[in-house]
Amino acid sequence: MDVSRATDRRAADGHPTRRHAFTLIELLVVVSIIALLVSVLLPSMKEAREQAKRVSCQANLRQINSALFAYLTDYDRLPVYYSKNDEGCICGWCTWSYGGWLGRNRLWDDVGGGCFRIPANQRPLTVYMTKRGVSPARLSGGTLQELSDQPVFKCPSDRKSVQYLYIDPDAGTEEMFSSYDDVGTSYHMNFYWWPQTSRRYGPDWDGDGVVEPTLGQCPSELVESCPTGQRINWPCRFRQGRDIWRYYELHSPSRFVTLVEEPVDFALTGGTQEMGFHRTFSKHNIAFLDGHVAYLMMDTREMSGPDWTVVHEEMEAPGW
């Protein structure tokens, strides 16, 4: 083989050929075109990724919602845990006590005497889902009490908990918690039926013309007593809350909210509007009593309204 011919290409006149190179202008044109394409395509790629996360979040809500309905059917009560203090008295309940895990935010140890930092083995729906084999947890390590790996309760777009900022705005820490790491779940339970159970008149829940007993007429077995002498009718209120849910199952389940993403709960509590998990202002994933989940724009400055039904319209009379 002639090595010189293989390595040294020459023109017909015997002189070496020169390879054509890009000019600076051509290079700048190519770079500009690439930059333009990136600027056009990048937002679309981000939107596609966020849409995939939103769909995954909706799938989580549907699974939790289904378990909630099954629990309500099996036990005929809402999966709500309310804590007791060292004196044995009820000290509080919260919208995340239904399911999830303990969370990492130790600031909750000092809020309400620790009433709102609830381990997984005390959250009814978590225990129920695990026992039923619809486990929200990968049980390969840790215990149910401390286990943090419960992906069904975590929205992929849950980046920062507004609840955490509300509880301790002057924490002085650079670490930011997601709602999942803050309180153990990205999804909060609708509790806006709760104020209805404290009004001073009895409703006709089942529409038979008979007014049900008021809280002052609660059966003795549904009134909690504690060593300090307090008598608390919370069990009676939870039973009335269950009746509210049952009422809506028969009437307008597609309008009654069961579970919401955390920014909704925070916004409704403060009467504000918040950025949603999915980077859209005041738009959130919401689960309903008929089982459907929707990504909706909603005005969270009010707790009720024609497109946001969380209270019984007949109960909006003065006096409660």
Domain boundaries, the chain: 75-186, 190-320
Residue with the bigger pLDDT between 249 and 262: it is: 262
CA 122-77-303 angle, to 5 degrees, is 90
C-alpha span between 223 and 234 (Å, rounded): 7
- Tokens 């419960």: give the residue: 150
| Global pTM value | 0.76
User: At what angle are helices 24-75 and 124-131 packed, to 10 degrees?
Assistant: 90
User: Is residue 261 pLDDT above 50, yes or no?
Assistant: yes
Look at residue 306 and give its three-state secondary structure.
Answer: coil
Strands 187-189 and 90-93: unpaired
pLDDT for the residue numbered 225: 75
Amino acid residing at 158:
D
High-pLDDT (> 90) share of the chain, % = 23
How many alpha carbons lie under 13 Å from residue 109 in its C-beta half-sphere?
A: 4
Is 79 within 8 Å of 308 (Cβ atoms)?
no
pLDDT for the residue numbered 227: 72
203: nearest Cα among 77, 72, 316: 316
User: Is residue 222 pLDDT above 80, yes or no?
Assistant: no
User: Is residue 10 pLDDT above 60, yes or no?
Assistant: no
Annotate 222-287 with DSSP letters as a single string.
GSEE-TTS-EE-HHHHHHHHHHHHHHHHHS-GGGBEEEEEHHHHHHHHHT---B-TTSSBTEEEEE
pLDDT for the residue numbered 208: 62
- Tokens 């459907």: give the residue: 292
Range with the poorest average pLDDT among 134-143, 178-187, 223-232, 300-309: 134-143
Q: 188-212 burial, b if ≥16 CB within 10 A, otherwise e? A: bbbbbbbebbebeeebebeeeeeee
Gyration radius of the chain's alpha carbons = 29
Residues in the chain: 320
Q: What are the beta bridge partners of residue 93? A: 82
How many alpha carbons lie under 13 Å from residue 317 in its C-beta half-sphere?
A: 8
pLDDT for the residue numbered 197: 74
